[in-house]
Amino acid sequence: MNGRSAFYYLSSLLVGLIFFLLAIFTTDSYILVRGLGYLDTYQLERHINIIEGKAGNPWQYRVLSIYRRRADQAPSSARRAFPARTSFYRS
């Protein structure tokens, strides 16, 4: 078992199973509430707009992005406590 116990593998399997079941449950609930007609028309149109780059500003939904930008613009002495960048945002 390469130094790992059976408990490790069993717990990993259990977490994966729970993750899968919750993903199926939430997707199924979304489809039941919205209906397949919504997914085939409105949601598909939004998806195509995103792929083609016509969906607008993606940063409008990122609530804390303005605070991240301010942190990037802080003086270097203030950033020494956190030297690693935490996002891919470039100004």
Mind listing the pLDDT tens digit for each residue in 26-61?
999 999 999 989 988 988 998 888 888 787 776 666
- Is pLDDT at 87 greater than 60 in this prediction? no
Classify residue 39: in a domain, yes or no.
yes
CB 55 within 8 A of CB 49: yes
Query: Is residue 69 in a domain?
Result: yes
Q: How many domains does the chain have?
A: 1
Considering the domain boundaries, does residue 49 fall inside one?
A: yes
Predicted confidence at residue 61, as pLDDT, reads 64
Domain region containing 67: 6-75
Say how far apart CA 47 and CA 86 lie, in whole Å: 27
> Is 80 within the bounds of a domain?
no
Instruction: Report the distance separating Cα 48 and Cα 58, nearest Å.
Output: 14
In a domain, 88, yes or no: no
Is 63 contained in some domain?
yes
Q: What is the Cα–Cα distance from 74 to 51, expressed in whole angstroms?
A: 34
Tell me the mean pLDDT in the region 6-24.
94
Phi, psi of 56 (to 5 degrees): 95, -160
